[in-house]
Amino acid sequence: MYIRGRYLILSLILVIALSSGLTAFVMKDGQTGSSVENAASTPEFQKLLDTYSTLQKDFYQGAKSDQLLNGAIDGMVKSLDDPYSTYMPPDEATQFHENIESSFEGIGAEIRAEDGKIVVVSPIKGSPSESAGIKPNDRIRSVDGKSLDGMTASEAVTHIRGKKGTKAELVIERPGEQGVLNISLVRDTIPIETVYSEMLPDKMGKVQVTKVSETTFTEFSKAIQSLKEQGMKGLIIDLRSNPGGLLNITVKMADMLLPEGKMIMQVEYKDGSKDTYKSDKEQLGLPIVVLVDGGSASAAEILAAALKESGDVPLVGTKTFGKGTVQTTKSFKDGSDIKYTIAKWLTPNGNWVHKSGIEPDHKVELPAYASLHALDPDKEMKKEQFSNEIKSAQTMLEALGFTPGRLDGFFDEKTEQAVMSFQQANGIEKTGVVGGKTTLKMMELLRAKLEKDDTQLEMAKSVLRKMIP
């Protein structure tokens, strides 16, 4: 969500469905780049010009000027070896600027490039990716048979995004699991809502922020006001699987929650100078607990760190992702952009969380079945077969109270009996085969169970309950 002349923050790199991301940007007043005039007179620059001239003149298939120039720019940016710096040709740049300010169609996941692989930062709430069980740190190896290895995030997005209703066949590697996962999902319109709220028992309000966009502060303020009108006595802010967003909006949210004069964050540039952000006034005045996990990144981490270090707000969940750099963009007349890292952000106490993340005050894991990926209802699994998908199905059956006898991915007679017991209990024809209605019902019941067994939320409620006067 880049707007020239405004302070924005980094999210982890690109929204798959968007062909862009909520990458963080800071435009620092008065800062300019190296002198082009000086660079043009150097031997290195002359070498570049000579290479351009030679290839344009002598390459046997002919070389177009724009092809050579775009390749040179792309190569320069890639030489930085920074996953958050990238060159975007005009079509990608257009999608980037359009999509970060509007709804979009795709699978709905934030990604980044790391060590030649496309890595999921977080699925977006309510998106096909979330429904399919895609998790933070999953590696997307290919889409529709096209390998994504070696691509930048921008390049990968052009292959992953697509129109609503089209099918995407993903091959996923999940850390800690052998083999690959084949996930089939249907692209859809990704929800533009970023804030969801509800009143929990004991007048505890809960506000989930799924990303930080242009509308988030307005949504957040309305949610807080509504909960206060309902008599809210304490607040749980859920930042789990929040990949980040806009800096100015994040600062406004923190300003609303912290006492006057408290440090929110710092941005440090390469020359050592810093921009600091402090709270002007507090508008809530109630106890707060924050939920975080490995999908909480950039803007979500800034808000969590600000509340933790400047507001003594406890964090509950698991360690955050660890994205501590800030990006800006430069646009060219042909519509292309370069996006590059310009600074790092620091917590109120001056800590840099890049690659290390933020440890919660109360570490709580979700149940093991929460990490399962969704099963494809169009794919049948039956006796004598062996696969990672069967392993997931067995784990689902176990979690739902239907013992399959083993959890290693081999579909034996005991697994078949467990499937038939599940089918009988749910009014489905007893075939002993996992697929269709059986698969859909298993995933439906598992999602409902996870909502009831949200161990992290339960801990947050317990912590907040003790804080309420």
Active-site residues: which are they?
298, 309, 323
Residue 53: partners with Cβ closer than 8 Å, 6 or more residues away: none
Amino acid at the residue 166: T
- Rounded distance, CA 392 to CA 394, Å? 5
Q: How many residues does the structure list for the chain? A: 469
Amino acid at the residue 135: K
Range 429-438, long-range pairs (CB < 8 A, 24+ positions)? 432/382, 432/383, 433/380, 433/381, 433/382, 434/375, 434/380, 434/381, 434/382, 434/390, 434/393, 435/377, 435/378, 435/379, 435/380, 435/381, 436/377, 436/378, 436/380, 437/377
Q: Taking each helix axis as running N to C, give the angle between helix 413-425 and helix 388-399, from 0 to 180 degrees, rounded to the nearest 10.
A: 50
**What does the DSSP assignment read for 59-89?**
-TT---HHHHHHHHHHHHHHTT--TT-EEE-
- Rounded distance, CA 248 to CA 264, Å? 11
Cβ atoms 398, 383 nearer than 8 A: no
> Which is it for strands 274-278 and 263-269: parallel, antiparallel or unpaired?
antiparallel
1 three-state secondary structure: coil
Cβ atoms 303, 254 nearer than 8 A: yes
**What does the DSSP assignment read for 16-57?**
TTTTB--B-B---TT-----HHHHHTSHHHHHHHHHHHHHHH
- Rounded distance, CA 333 to CA 93, Å? 12
Q: How many CB atoms lie within 10 A of CB 312?
A: 9
**Backbone angle region of 233, left / alpha / beta, with phi > 0 → left and psi within -120 to 50 → alpha:** alpha
- CB-side neighbour CA atoms (13 Å) of 145: 0
